[in-house]
Amino acid sequence: RGVLMGRKSKMLELVATFEGFLRENPVLKPKRGKGANWGPFYKVCKPFNMTDAAWEDAVAAEPPRTWTKYDDQLCLNRYMIEKAQARDLRVKFDRDGTLLHTVGGTEPDTYRLDDANRPYWPETKKSPCVWHFNNPICKGYMKPMIAKFPGAFV
């Protein structure tokens, strides 16, 4: 779960672009069922610069590659890479964690306070604008982080 924000016209453009990345996963399509009881979503974003042959090999692999199920972040990564390759000046890469820090499995006691009394990650020495609690493990870290750094999170 996540959120993307923007003007309606640009969000519709983004969705149309994502739809252009989608490929049917022949392994999942037969499982989709009928009507409101459909099974897993059967389309997947083909990664940036991946050939059709490599795509078919990945889907047919035993066991199948984990990313051959729908992954919104894979779609977004491909979009960002294509825009950057096209030198779109509106695309910014956050190479050092200034904008966003993905918590992942980093435990709350790892973080410190900077001179401005903001939480930061010692590995980057950055206090990001957005903290991304992105998986079940780190979702459990949200309350301890709020308790450790009162007033830092909304």
pLDDT value at residue 86 = 92
Tens of pLDDT along the chain (154 residues) come to 455 666 788 888 888 888 888 888 777 665 655 655 555 677 888 888 888 888 888 888 887 676 677 777 788 888 888 888 999 888 777 777 788 888 887 888 999 999 988 999 898 888 988 888 877 788 888 899 999 998 888 7
Give the whole-angstrom CA distance, residue 151 versus residue 154.
7
pLDDT value at residue 92 = 75
pLDDT value at residue 1 = 45
pLDDT value at residue 74 = 81
pLDDT value at residue 39 = 56
**Dmax (CA) of the chain:** 57
φ, ψ at 10 (rounded to 5°) = -75, -35
Say which residues have a Cβ less than 8 Å from residue 17's Cβ, sequence separation at least 6.
Answer: 79
CB 70 within 8 A of CB 46: no
Q: Which pTM value belongs to this model? A: 0.58
Residues linked to residue 130 through DSSP beta bridges, in sequence order: 100
Say which residues have a Cβ less than 8 Å from residue 39's Cβ, sequence separation at least 6.
Answer: 28, 31, 32, 33
C-alpha angle 69/75/78, rounded to 5°? Answer: 125
DSSP string, 52-98: HHHHHHHHHSSSPPGGGS--HHHHHHHHHHHHHHTT-TT----TTSS
Residues linked to residue 100 through DSSP beta bridges, in sequence order: 130
pLDDT value at residue 133 = 82
φ, ψ at 22 (rounded to 5°) = -75, 140
pLDDT value at residue 111 = 93
